[in-house]
């Protein structure tokens, strides 16, 4: 899937996910101040475009876990390190 | 089944320190002749030193060949790359080293018998290093007349040596596999969630500086595959544990486990604590959130509105609690629970829960 351009809210979400590495979508919703419905809608789109992975997680309160794409996170980390 | 700690031989213990000191003292004792001392020590000490030195003079080429043979054995185990210490620590790894030591010593004795005039020093070195080639030599006992050698009677010690070596390798593989599984399980017991393990894996990958670009790419692809939604959670946890172990090594994993177990604020524990925000399943926040989510949505909304007084917070809670088709109730309640805990704090949320009941 070809990565598509994220909107500002998605960029904010992605930055938070990449900082945390992984989090439950509910926590992301609470931290970013987005409603649960909005959060899930945007996350599903980001997962479809390959920015994040959403998977089942029995340890998560909402039964799901959103994980940053490892390759993308690494390249972001290197860019920050270079600066 | 008891699993041996394959790193144990590399840890400095009282016993190893004792033997080290004893060997050092013996080396000093035999290196400096005491008869030159004035006044000379008692006759018995002089006799022990003299006899000991004579024995050492006789045995040192044999001992050198044996030590070099042991070195060859260790070098063979170096093919386990990052697991070379575990390979040496494995029971059959030690047997392999012992076999090499014994074979090198025997080869030295055999060659010495056939070549008594050769310089012992040169012989010890050449046999110690070259014995694997030497024992692979085919020793023909009876040669066929006029034939092409097909019916010769020969001793093939090399074949026997290779068989034993292969057997040792198989057993070492099994022992290392079990040991790694135990170490990975220790990590998974302390870092129980996929979230924590993935955060650890990413952190470890970021801090490993000696990987080539190709290696790093390969690891990143592996990591991405490990978290694939198709992989069952239990399998993902085990694989992530093994990934961290492979990337960081046994020492690193032990440090992580200790840091989590002790929860100390010492420099070592703090340095090892990978991500301060990593939320474990039993952290106070997660525990309170789980309790809040057990409430009916209406009660949770009321609790949140009672606790959070700012217009912004109240607006968010009301919006989050509105009916949302396609979103399950728990996925509506969990964000509100997290929101309450992050804004009001764990203590206040617990207090509100008590008041509600």
DSSP string, B187-239: HHHHS-SHHHHHHHHHHHHHH--S--HHHHHHHHHHHHHHT-TTS-HHHHHHH
Q: What angle do helix axes B157-190 and B233-262 make, rounded to 10 degrees?
A: 80
- Check CB contact under 8 Å for A62 and B224: no
Residue B212's pLDDT band (boundaries 50, 70, 90)? confident
Q: How far, in Å, CA of B125 to CA of A45, rounded?
A: 68
Question: Would the pLDDT of B121 be above 80?
Answer: yes
Tokens for B114? 């056939």
Convert the pLDDT of each residue in B21-31 to its tens digit: 999 998 888 88
Q: Which residues pair with B10 in a beta bridge?
A: none
Residue window 176-205, chain B: list those with CB within 8 Å of chain A.
Answer: 192-195, 198-199, 201-203, 205
- Check CB contact under 8 Å for A62 and B331: yes
Convert the pLDDT of each residue in B320-346 to its tens digit: 999 888 889 999 999 999 999 999 999
Minimum CA–CA partner of B288 in chain A: A61
Cα B56 to the center of its chain, rounded Å: 38
Interface list for chain A against chain B, based on CB atoms closer than 8 Å = 20-27, 29-31, 33, 35-37, 39-40, 53-65, 67-71, 73-74, 77
Q: Are A21 and A33 in contact (CB under 8 A)?
A: no
Q: How far, in Å, CA of B199 to CA of B191, rounded?
A: 10
Question: Would the pLDDT of B268 be above 50?
Answer: no
Q: Are B288 and B353 in contact (CB under 8 A)?
A: yes
Question: Would the pLDDT of B303 be above 90?
Answer: yes
Percentage of the residues of chain B whose pLDDT score is greater than 70: 88
Minimum CA–CA partner of A31 in chain B: B339
Provide the pLDDT for residue B150: 63
Provide the pLDDT for residue B144: 63
- Check CB contact under 8 Å for B229 and A20: no
Q: Which residues pair with A50 in a beta bridge?
A: none
Q: Which of B198, B205, B316 sits opposite A22 (nearest CB)?
A: B198
| Chain A environment of B193 (Cβ under 8 Å) | 57, 59-60
Q: Which residues pair with A22 in a beta bridge?
A: A67
Convert the pLDDT of each residue in B11-52 to its tens digit: 777 888 888 999 999 888 888 887 777 777 788 888 888 888
Phi (first) and psi of residue A64, to 5 degrees: -135, 160
* One-character DSSP codes across B6-65: TTGGGS--HHHHHHHHHHHHHHHHHHS-GGGSSS---HHHHHHHHHHHHHHHHHHHHHHH
Q: How far, in Å, CA of B193 to CA of B280, rounded?
A: 7
- Check CB contact under 8 Å for B220 and A70: yes
Mean of the pLDDT values across residues B266-284? 53
This model of the complex carries an ipTM of: 0.88
- Chain B interface, best mutation among A13, A17, A29, A31, by max B CB count within 10 A: A29
Convert the pLDDT of each residue in B47-72 to its tens digit: 888 888 888 888 889 999 999 989 98
Q: Are A16 and A32 in contact (CB under 8 A)?
A: yes
Q: Does B211 touch chain A (CB under 8 A)?
A: no
Looking at residue B142, the DSSP 8-state letter turns out to be E
Convert the pLDDT of each residue in B153-167 to its tens digit: 666 777 888 888 889
Q: Which domains does chain A have, with CATH numbers?
A: 8-82 (1.10.10.10)
Convert the pLDDT of each residue in A15-57 to its tens digit: 999 888 899 999 999 999 999 999 999 999 999 998 999 999 9
Say how many CB pairs under 8 Å bridge A and B. Answer: 130
| Chain B environment of A22 (Cβ under 8 Å) | 194-195, 198-199
- Check CB contact under 8 Å for B338 and A65: no
Tell me the CB-side half-sphere exposure of residue A12, using CA atoms within 13 A.
11
When computed from its CA atoms, the radius of gyration of chain B, rounded to whole angstroms, is 33
Lowest mean pLDDT, pick from A25-39, B7-21, B78-92, B115-129: B7-21
Minimum CA–CA partner of B293 in chain A: A61
Question: Would the pLDDT of A73 be above 90?
Answer: no
Q: How far, in Å, CA of B208 to CA of A78, rounded?
A: 12
In this prediction the pTM is 0.70
Cα B117 to the center of its chain, rounded Å: 48
Residue B148's pLDDT band (boundaries 50, 70, 90)? low
CB-count exposure of residue B110 (10 Å: 0-12, 13-18, 19+): middle
Query: In angstroms, what separates the C-alpha of B252 from chain A's closest C-alpha?
Result: 20
Provide the pLDDT for residue A43: 95
- Check CB contact under 8 Å for B194 and A57: yes
Q: What is residue B287's three-state secondary structure?
A: helix
Q: What is residue B141's three-state secondary structure?
A: strand
Q: Which of A35, A59, A68 sits opposite B192 (nearest CB)?
A: A59
- Chain A interface, best mutation among B195, B209, B211, B322, by max A CB count within 10 A: B195
Q: How far, in Å, CA of B195 to CA of B124, rounded?
A: 57
Q: Is the peptide bond before B233 cis (omega within 30 degrees of 0)?
A: no
Rank A42-51, A70-79, B114-123, B276-285 by mean pLDDT and report only the highest: A42-51
User: Long-range contacts for B239-244 (Cβ within 8 Å, ≥24 apart)?
Assistant: B240/B194, B240/B197, B240/B198, B240/B200, B240/B201, B241/B184, B241/B185, B241/B187, B241/B188, B241/B191, B241/B197, B242/B180, B242/B184, B243/B201, B243/B219, B244/B184, B244/B187, B244/B197, B244/B200, B244/B201, B244/B204
Q: Are B172 and B90 in contact (CB under 8 A)?
A: yes
Query: In angstroms, what separates the C-alpha of B199 from chain A's closest C-alpha?
Result: 5
Q: What is residue B155's three-state secondary structure?
A: strand
**Which residue shows structure tokens 């992301």?**
A28
| Chain A environment of B236 (Cβ under 8 Å) | 55
Question: Would the pLDDT of B1 be above 50?
Answer: yes
Q: Containing H/E element for B153?
A: strand B153-155
* One-character DSSP codes across A5-68: ---HHHHHHHHHHHHHSEE-HHHHHHHHT--HHHHHHHHHHHHHTTSEEEEE-TTSTTSEEEEE
B279 or B188: whose pLDDT is higher? B188
If we measure between CA atoms, which residue out of A34, A31, A26, A27 comes closest to residue A9? A34
If we measure between CA atoms, which residue out of A37, A39, A33, A30 comes closest to residue A10? A39
């Amino acid at each position: 899937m070809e990565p598509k351009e994220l909107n500002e809210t998605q960029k904010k979400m992605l930055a938070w996910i990449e900082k945390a590495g992984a989090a439950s979508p509910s926590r992301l919703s609470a931290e970013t101040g987005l409603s649960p419905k909005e959060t899930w809608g945007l996350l599903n789109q980001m997962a479809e475009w390959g920015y994040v992975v959403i998977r089942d997680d029995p340890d998560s309160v909402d039964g799901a876990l959103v994980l940053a794409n490892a390759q993308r996170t690494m390249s972001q980390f290197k860019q920050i390190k270079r600066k | 089944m008891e699993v041996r700690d394959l790193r144990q031989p590399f840890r400095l213990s009282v016993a190893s320190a004792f033997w080290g000191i004893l060997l050092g003292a013996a080396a000093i004792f035999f290196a400096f002749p005491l008869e030159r001392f004035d006044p000379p020590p008692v006759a018995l000490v002089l006799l022990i030193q003299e006899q000991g030195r004579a024995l050492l003079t006789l045995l040192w080429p044999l001992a050198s060949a044996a030590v070099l043979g042991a070195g060859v054995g260790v070098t063979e185990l170096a093919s386990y790359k990052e697991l070379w210490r575990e390979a040496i620590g494995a029971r059959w790894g030690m047997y392999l080293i012992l076999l090499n030591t014994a074979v090198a010593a025997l080869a030295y004795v055999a060659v010495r018998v056939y070549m008594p005039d050769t310089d012992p020093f040169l012989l010890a070195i050449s046999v110690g290093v070259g014995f694997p080639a030497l024992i692979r030599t085919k020793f023909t006992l009876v040669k066929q007349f006029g034939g092409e050698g097909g019916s010769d009677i020969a001793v093939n010690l090399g074949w026997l040596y290779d068989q034993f070596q292969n057997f040792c390798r198989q057993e070492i593989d099994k022992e290392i596999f079990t040991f790694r599984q135990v170490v990975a399980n220790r990590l998974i017991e302390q870092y129980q969630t996929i979230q924590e393990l993935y955060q650890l894996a990413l952190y470890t990958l970021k801090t490993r500086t000696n990987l080539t670009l190709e290696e790093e790419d390969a690891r990143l692809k592996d990591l991405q595959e490990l978290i694939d939604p198709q992989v069952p959670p239990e399998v993902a946890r085990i694989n992530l544990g093994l990934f961290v172990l492979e990337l960081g090594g046994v020492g690193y994993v032990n440090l992580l486990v200790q840091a989590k177990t002790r929860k100390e604020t010492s420099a070592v524990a703090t340095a090892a604590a990978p991500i301060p925000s990593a939320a474990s399943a039993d952290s106070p926040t997660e525990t309170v959130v789980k309790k809040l989510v057990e409430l009916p949505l209406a009660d949770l909304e009321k609790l949140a509105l009672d606790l959070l007084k700012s217009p912004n917070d109240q607006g968010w809670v009301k919006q989050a609690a509105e009916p949302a088709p396609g979103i399950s109730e728990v996925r509506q309640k969990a964000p509100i629970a997290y929101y309450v805990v992050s804004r009001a704090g764990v203590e206040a949320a617990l207090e509100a829960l008590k008041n509600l009941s």
